[in-house]
């Protein structure tokens, strides 16, 4: 998964892009980068690590002068995690200097790469995004035509920001798998993965970029907006709402927070026969669903876990003998909340089941009397080919075990998953948009052809 942002027609483009990237940091912590253009020669600065470590005042103000910027935060899904694959990718070609930042996963990447290799193309990265650069370099016509012709050849998930001179382009695949929004701050347009990033930097969310749309912006004006390809139907990733996106971002006319509250309300309706002393979230993603559950069921909401936000991904993966030492480092239960209680514990999802198993052990050790574990989505039974980092089927606990078997494995008193119907109802403001989501991770039904090499 990744986060992308573009800011144009602004003297502070690099600073605003870096603040936007900080807001999108949850979408990728491995690397971050910004390309700047507009007043001077295009340049890109990128590095491994967190946005706050990479972009300091000296780099933003002295090394990234210009008025148009695109930025990227990366979380590897389809290729190696290394600086060479950090984005944006800046190239020099027949059309001049161009830079691209991509969120998603191009599913016919291997096929196109093979064709390009046969034509003599040279590849520097292992990322799927690189094929787009070759396609752009080989296309002819206006800049918008070049991009449209190139994107028509791609399948799968791609939300993009593209930069050339003072022109900023935003584009989304025809299924609209990954989010992409348009916003404005004064006389500058912003394109971002999530509306929260637009608003945090002082802008206003205007609308979503439509599935299959290319929008061309220059000097504070929308020069062109075209639908380059019509999809059969919109299939936006529903897991964005369950887990990935920020609660303060807007999707399908409501905040993600509101969607998660509704997920909890529906879960409470599904579990009305279960009584407990408290409802407790697994922080942070279980928080709003637990709130909704509590409001509907009337069962007291309690915050019984303290999360340590400073334990990064890079912290040692504990070996067996260190596991006890580190098991409560990231999430620690508060004894007085948990001890002797019958608890409804709400988390967003079970993937491999290892996190849940650890949490149940910790809660039992802290004296929980009974645990009713509830998830704000259905069992994940298949991998994602559209940019979410789910492991292959063999590692997905729900692909290989029944709900009863998972309940036994976790040693909980009950185990409940939100039904797909209820999840879909929760994910739009009018509760009625049933045919606009990709739910392949819960159903195994993929909305596009998947070639096996992806």
**Residue numbering of the annotated binding site for Mg(2+):** 285, 347-348
Among 111, 224, 257, 352, binds ligand AMP (CB under 6 A): 352
For the CB of residue 289, give the shortest distance to ligand AMP in the complex, in Å: 11
Choose among 221, 72, 246: nearest CA to 159: 72
Nearest in space to 17 (alpha carbons), one of 245, 206, 191: 191
Closest CA relative to residue 232, chosen from 446, 1, 451: 446
148/126 Cα distance (integer angstroms)? 23
Euclidean distance between CA atoms 296 and 262, whole angstroms: 10
Q: Please, what is the minimum distance in Å from the beta carbon of residue 79 to ligand AMP? A: 16
- The gap between the terminal CA atoms of the chain, to the nearest Å, is 15
Residue with smaller CB distance to ligand AMP, 197 or 375 = 375
Shortest CB 113 distance to ligand AMP, Å: 25
The CA dihedral of 198, 203, 204, 207, to the nearest 10 degrees, is -40
Place of tokens 């950090």: 86
The minimum distance between CB 283 and ligand AMP, in angstroms, equals 10
Stretch that binds ligand AMP, among 26-34, 312-320, 341-349, 361-369 (CB under 6 A): 341-349
Note the helical H segments in 64-108: none
2 catalytic per annotation = yes
* Only segment of 121-129, 199-207, 319-327, 343-351 that touches ligand AMP (CB under 6 A): 343-351
Report the alpha-carbon distance of residue 217 to residue 142 in Å, rounded.
14
- Chain positions 236 to 255 lying near ligand AMP, rule: CB under 6 A, are 243
Q: Give the footprint of ligand AMP on residues 283-302 (CB under 6 A).
A: 285
Taking residues 369 to 408 in sequence order and writing x for each that binds ligand AMP by CB under 6 A, - otherwise, the string is -------------------xxx------------------
Q: How far is the CB of 1 from ligand AMP (least distance, A)?
A: 7
Query: In this chain, which of 308, 354, 400, 453 binds ligand AMP, going by CB under 6 A?
Result: 354
- Separation of alpha carbons 96 and 10, rounded Å: 22
- Of 78, 74, 77, whose CA–CA distance to 89 is shortest? 74
Tell how far CA 122 is from the center of its chain: 30
Stretch that binds ligand AMP, among 5-13, 123-131, 346-354, 445-453 (CB under 6 A): 346-354
Q: Among 199, 208, 213, 348, indicate the residue that binds ligand AMP (CB under 6 A).
A: 348
- Active-site choice (2, 93, 377, 427): 2
Nearest by Cα to 124 from 87, 85, 71, 97:
85
Site for ligand AMP, rule CB under 6 A: 243, 285, 347-356, 388-390
Catalytic site positions: 2
């Amino acid at each position: 998964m990744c986060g992308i942002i573009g800011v144009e027609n602004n003297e502070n483009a690099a600073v605003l892009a870096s603040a936007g990237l900080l807001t999108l940091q949850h979408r990728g912590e491995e690397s971050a980068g910004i390309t700047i253009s507009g007043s001077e020669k295009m340049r890109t600065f990128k590095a491994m690590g967190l946005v706050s470590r990479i972009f300091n005042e000296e780099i933003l103000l002295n090394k990234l002068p210009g008025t148009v910027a695109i930025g990227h935060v990366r979380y590897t899904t389809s290729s190696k995690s290394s600086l060479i694959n950090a984005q944006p990718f800046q190239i020099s070609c027949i059309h001049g200097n161009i830079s691209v930042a991509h969120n998603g996963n191009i599913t016919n990447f291997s096929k196109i790469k093979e064709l390009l290799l046969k034509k003599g193309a040279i590849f520097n990265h292992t990322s799927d995004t690189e094929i787009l650069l070759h396609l752009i370099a080989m296309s002819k016509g206006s800049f918008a035509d070049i991009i449209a012709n190139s994107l028509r050849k791609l399948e799968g998930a791609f939300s993009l920001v593209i930069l050339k001179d003072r022109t900023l382009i935003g584009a989304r695949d025809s299924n609209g798998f990954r989010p992409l929004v348009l916003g404005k701050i004064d006389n500058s347009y912003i394109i971002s993965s999530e509306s929260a990033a637009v608003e945090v930097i002082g802008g206003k969310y205007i609308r979503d970029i439509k599935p299959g749309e290319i929008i061309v912006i220059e000097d504070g004006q929308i020069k062109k907006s075209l639908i380059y390809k019509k999809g059969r139907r919109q299939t936006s990733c529903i897991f964005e709402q369950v887990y990935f996106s920020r609660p303060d971002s807007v999707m399908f006319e409501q905040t993600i927070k509101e969607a998660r509250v509704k997920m909890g309300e529906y879960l409470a309706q599904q579990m009305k026969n279960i009584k407990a002393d408290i409802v407790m979230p697994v922080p942070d993603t279980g928080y709003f669903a637990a709130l909704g559950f509590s409001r509907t069921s009337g069962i007291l909401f309690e915050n019984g876990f303290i999360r340590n936000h400073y334990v990064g991904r890079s912290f040692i993966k504990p070996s067996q003998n260190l596991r006890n030492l580190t098991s409560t480092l990231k999430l620690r239960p508060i004894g007085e909340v948990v001890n002797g209680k019958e608890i409804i514990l709400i988390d967003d999802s079970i993937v491999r089941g290892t996190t849940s198993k650890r949490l149940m052990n910790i809660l039992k050790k802290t004296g929980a009397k009974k645990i009713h574990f509830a998830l704000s989505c259905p069992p994940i039974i298949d991998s994602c080919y559209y940019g979410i980092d789910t492991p292959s089927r063999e590692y997905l606990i729900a692909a290989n075990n029944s709900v009863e078997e998972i309940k036994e494995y976790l040693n909980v008193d009950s185990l409940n998953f939100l039904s797909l119907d209820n999840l879909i109802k929760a994910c739009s403001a009018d509760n009625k948009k049933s045919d606009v989501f990709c739910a392949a991770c819960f159903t195994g039904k993929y909305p596009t052809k998947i070639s096996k090499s992806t």
